[in-house]
Structure 1
C-alpha cells in the first residue's frame, strides 16, 4: 500500500524525476523509490504518466531519458528511412572488405540491411543473423546459406533475441561480424536496449574480426548499453570524418577508419 508521502506534491516529484533522468540518462525503479522515499507503485505511475507526455521511455525495471541525452530506440521502419544515402554508401564500402566464401554474422538494424544489399559481387557466403529484414535484402546468388537465429521476436526492431547458437549445444564461430550500433563516442560503441546489446556482444565474441557500420548521426551519442571499446573493433565504416575525440580514440585503438565515398 502507498504511504502518506506518496501523495505529497506529485507534480514537484515528477519534475524532479525528469531532472534526474536528464542528468543520469537511465535510472531504475529501485533507485527512484530510494531517492524519493515513495513506493514502487507510485514511481511506476509517475513513469507511466511521464512516458505518455513523451518525457521518457520506460524499460524493464526503469526508464530512459526522452530528450536525446541517451539515444532512444526507434521503430525499425522509421530507421530504414533515415540517412538512406549515407547507409548505402557505408554498406558498399563495408562490403568491399568482405571476401568470397566468408562466414558473416550480422545484428539488427537498417545499417546492416544496407550492407547486405551491397554484397552482389560476392558468392558462397554463409550469413547468420537475428535481423528478420536482412535475408530478403541479400542479392540472389550471394549466399550459400542464411541462418536466422531463434529467440524472442521483437516487432519494434524486427529482430529475434536469444543466444548466438544454431541449436542447444553448437555455438557459432564466424570470420566476420558486421555490427550496427545506436551510439558512438570516445569510449566506444553502444546500443539502446540491454537484450539486443547482449546478443551483439556474443556476435563479436564469435568472430575473428569486427566491422562496425555507423552513419555520422551516431557520433557523440551514448546509448544505454556500452557494447565494445574500440580495441575490440577492426574496421569502423562511416560516411564522414568523426569528431576529433572519436577519431583520436579510434587511432589509438588501431582501428582502420573507412570513410565511404559520398
Structure 2
C-alpha cells in the first residue's frame, strides 16, 4: 500500500462524519449549517468542507445556510444478482485476464462484487492457492474445489452477501496476502474509489492495507461515477484491468500515478 496509516485514520473519521451528515439529511430532508458543529462535535470550517465534498459526490445540494437532498442519489446500492447482469460480457473478459495474474502458491484476497465473483469461477483449477474473502457467494463458489478458502467474519450486507464491519476489519489486520482483486461501484479521479455502503468501504480499505499488490477490476460503466463511501484515492492501486477505452488524459493520469493499465 502506498498510503500511511495516519492518512487512512483521517479518512475513516471523515467518512464516518459524512455518513452522519447523510443520516441527518435523510431524516430531516434539509440541514441547517450552523446547527451541525454542535451535533457532530466539530468546527464550522470542517462542516463547510464536508458539505462541499458531499455536493461534489452528487448526494446533496448546498443552499444558503444549509443543504437539501437531491432527488436521486447517483449510486443506490443494487443487489448482487442485479449487478451481475450489467455489462456481463465485459466483466467476463476482465475476470479471465485477472485469473492470468494468479500463480500457484499465491494467497489472494477477493473483495465482494460481481466481477470478483466471476473471477472466482476462473480460478477453481489453479493449484495451491488460498483465497481470503468477505463474500459468502465467493466462498460457496469455491467450496467443492482444492482452493483453500478463508471467509472472514463480520456483519452481513444481505443484498450483496458481503461481510463487513469492525470484526471483518480486525480479522483482516491479522493476515497478509500477495494480491487483492477489488471491484468498486465508482472510480473518479477527484473523489477516488467508491461504494454505496460506508462500512463496506472501510473493510475494502483494510484489504488494501494488508495486500502486497492491489488490482482494480472495473468495467467501463464505473468511470466517472461516485457514491458515499470512499475506499481510497485512485493512486493507491497498483494495476487496473478494464474494458474502458481510456482518453489521453486518463492514460496520462494513470501513468503519472505509476499504475499499470490492462485493457481487455
- Regarding TM over 0.5, the answer is yes
Shift of 1:64: 7.6
Secondary structure of 1:90 counterpart: helix
Correspondences of 1:24-63 after superposition (within 5 Å): 27-29=22-24, 32-34=30-32
Paired residues of 2:180 and 2:207 also in contact (CA < 8 A): yes
TM-score by length of 1: 0.71
Please give the root-mean-square deviation of Cα atoms over the aligned residues, in Å. 2.9
- Runs (4+) of structure 1 exceeding 6 A deviation are none
Cα gap change, 1:64 to 1:102, in 2 (>3 Å): farther
Runs of 5+ unmatched residues, structure 2:
1-20, 40-58, 61-67
1:176 aligns with 2:171: no
Cα distance in 1 for residues equivalent to 2:231 and 2:171: 22
1:130 aligns with 2:128: no
Cα distance in 2 for residues equivalent to 1:64 and 1:124: 50
Cα distance in 1 for residues equivalent to 2:199 and 2:210: 17
1:77 to 78, 81, 88: 81
Shift of 1:234: 1.1
Shift of 1:71: 2.1
Secondary structure of 1:172 counterpart: coil
Secondary structure of 1:134 counterpart: helix
Cα gap change, 1:141 to 1:256, in 2 (>3 Å): same
Q: How many residues align?
A: 210
1:198 to 194, 199, 202: 202
Task: Name 2:119's counterpart in structure 1.
Answer: 115
Secondary structure of 1:251 counterpart: helix
| Larger proportion of helix | 2
Task: Name 2:65's counterpart in structure 1.
Answer: none
Task: Name 2:92's counterpart in structure 1.
Answer: 88
Task: Name 2:72's counterpart in structure 1.
Answer: 67
Paired residues of 1:181 and 1:190 also in contact (CA < 8 A): yes
Correspondences of 1:207-218 after superposition (within 5 Å): 207-218=211-222
Task: Name 1:105's counterpart in structure 2.
Answer: 109
1:158 to 150, 156, 161: 161
TM-score by length of 2: 0.71
Cα distance in 1 for residues equivalent to 2:254 and 2:110: 22
Secondary structure of 2:103 counterpart: coil
Cα gap change, 1:259 to 1:80, in 2 (>3 Å): same
